[in-house]
């Protein structure tokens, strides 16, 4: 609690402020329908994204949280939450909110692939084996990256199991991000389902900052500080 | 609350008792891994199975609850819960508990198919499309039905979207069940994700009992009564 107070104080003492800033945050998994009862999803619980939303809301930002299916409560009363299910729904919701967003943080674990032909009826258990054909979903980060205007900031997340930094760097540039936050599945206690996380943040200049394993709330505070530093260094925002 | 009290009273006033009876209940969905982060699952929340477990535990039974991933708390302190993830895990857990079970209630929405070749590494988003090959999972109900001994009772669930009764009846006989409980996806307010359910119960003599839409807790009480009636009518159990 003392750490929280100090960090909040520090946040308020920087030159930059989040008051009046629109922040768009995505969180959680998506569910891609196979038929009316079955779907493809992933192990994201939404905890990291919800902690980020809470940190930014507490710092005075106007937060829109586009959330895939989670069992989490609204993390701060001032947050506007938009619930979505599929990657396509999440794409639509982020498209609608993006032009107003000063800062966009894409933390959701959006499905890369979705069933090509979801069935209207529950698929019966007959064949000994069959295959689900999948097609790529729209790349939300890449699409928003193309639309990004001067002054808009965008942070993406990467979860990699191999060639982590190399893949993360490619993603940073290909999607026109300002930062990429790398979660490693190799770090024990980090990532999906845990209350802690261990991140590495890489910016457009390929500066790398590694952080220690800490609670997702503390990771959210670190990310808030990174954004505040950047806002403080932008000429248009200094007084 | 008054209804609950009366029903509990009625349960206790029948000739049969659940005291000392072992009841095995499965609940929730399963998750079938595609790779370390992705899986196939279904919309079961586990609410119906957890309500059944609570009803039987409250009536004095020794309940083992084999549960797929849910966000639900333990519904009764006396329940022994075994957490599983995949259909294969659920099969192993039910196999281990079945021989001791006087009554088995298979409410879990177990995956019928699982990826044939789950990947060790997160699958990269490269190809525009690809297919996941699936193979049938072990049929838990059918396997337990074959092992069922004289005096063991078994209740299964069917969720159908078309030819509901016909499919449910086939399942009842093919899997050697004593009852099949039919949920219809057509009934609004019934099934996955709702707090209410509307069921039809069919027994081995193909007697059909339809129930009204009610809370999952009340549905659990109806199922408890059905089991108690059957126990009361079995010669070996009358005093």
Q: Is-catalytic flag, A42? A: yes
Q: Which residue of A has its CA nearest to B35?
A: A42
Q: Which residue of A has its CA nearest to B43?
A: A37
Q: What tens digit of pLDDT does each residue of B164-209 get?
A: 889 899 999 999 999 999 987 666 677 777 889 999 999 999 999 9
- Cα–Cα distance for residue pair B30/B89, rounded to 1 Å: 9
- Ramachandran class of A157: left when φ > 0, alpha when ψ lies in -120 to 50, beta otherwise: beta
What confidence score (pLDDT) does residue B238 get?
A: 39
Cα–Cα distances (Å) from B209 to A52, A128, B189, in that order, read 51, 33, 19
Select the residue of A122, A125, A131 nearest B161 (Cβ to Cβ). Answer: A122
Residue A107 lies in a domain: yes
Instruction: Give the closest-approach CA distance of B109 to chain A in angstroms.
Output: 9
Whole-angstrom distance, CA of residue A125 vs CA of residue A75: 41
> Is A123 contained in some domain?
no
Residues B99-153 have pLDDT tens digits of 999 999 999 999 999 999 999 888 877 788 889 999 999 999 999 999 999 999 9
CATH code for the domain in which residue B179 is found = 3.40.50.10300
In a domain, A126, yes or no: no
Count of domains forming chain B: 1
Q: How far apart are CA B116 and CA B137, in angstroms?
A: 10
Specify if B70 maps to a domain: yes
Look up the ipTM and state it: 0.81
pLDDT in tens, chain A (239 residues): 445 545 544 544 455 789 999 999 999 999 999 998 999 999 999 999 999 999 999 999 999 999 999 999 999 999 999 999 999 999 999 999 999 999 999 999 999 999 999 998 888 777 888 899 999 999 999 999 999 999 999 999 998 777 888 989 999 999 999 999 998 766 677 777 788 999 999 999 999 999 999 999 999 999 999 999 999 876 544 33
Q: Which residues of B are catalytic?
A: 42
Question: Looking at residues B212-236, what average pLDDT do you find?
Answer: 90
Q: Report CB contact under 8 Å: A131, B134.
A: yes
Contact of A174 with A142, CB cutoff 8 Å = yes
Determine the residue of chain B that is closest to A29 in CA distance.
B38
Query: Does residue A238 fall inside a structural domain?
Result: no
In a domain, A11, yes or no: no
Q: Is residue A213 part of a domain?
A: yes
Domain that holds residue A226: 16-117+131-231
CB-CB: which of B41, B111, B130 is closest to A134? B130
Q: A39, B37: Cβ pair inside 8 Å? A: no
| A&B contacts, CB < 8 Å | 99
Check CB contact under 8 Å for B125 and A109.
Answer: no
In a domain, B125, yes or no: no
pLDDT at position A146, please? 97
């Amino acid at each position: 609690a003392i750490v929280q107070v100090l960090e909040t104080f520090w946040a308020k003492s920087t030159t930059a402020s989040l008051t009046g800033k629109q922040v768009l945050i995505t969180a959680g998994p998506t569910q891609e329908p196979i038929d009316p009862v079955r779907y493809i999803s992933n192990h994201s619980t939404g905890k990291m994204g919800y902690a980020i939303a809470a940190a930014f809301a507490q710092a005075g930002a106007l937060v829109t949280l586009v959330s895939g299916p989670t069992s989490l409560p609204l993390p701060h009363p001032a947050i506007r939450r938009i619930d979505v299910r599929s990657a396509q729904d999440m794409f639509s919701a982020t498209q609608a909110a993006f032009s107003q967003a000063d800062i966009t943080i894409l933390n959701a674990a959006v499905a890369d692939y979705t069933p090509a032909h979801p069935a209207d009826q529950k698929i019966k258990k007959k064949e000994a084996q069959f295959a689900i054909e999948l097609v790529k979903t729209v790349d939300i980060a890449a699409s928003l990256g193309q639309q990004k205007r001067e002054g808009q900031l965008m942070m993406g997340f990467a979860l990699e199991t191999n060639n982590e930094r190399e893949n993360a760097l490619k993603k940073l540039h290909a999607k026109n991000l300002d930062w990429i936050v790398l979660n490693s599945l190799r770090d024990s206690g980090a990532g999906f389902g845990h209350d802690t996380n261990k991140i590495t943040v890489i910016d457009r200049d390929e500066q790398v900052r590694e952080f220690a394993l800490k609670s997702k709330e503390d990771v959210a505070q670190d990310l808030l500080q990174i954004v505040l530093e950047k806002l403080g260094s932008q000429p248009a925002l200094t007084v």
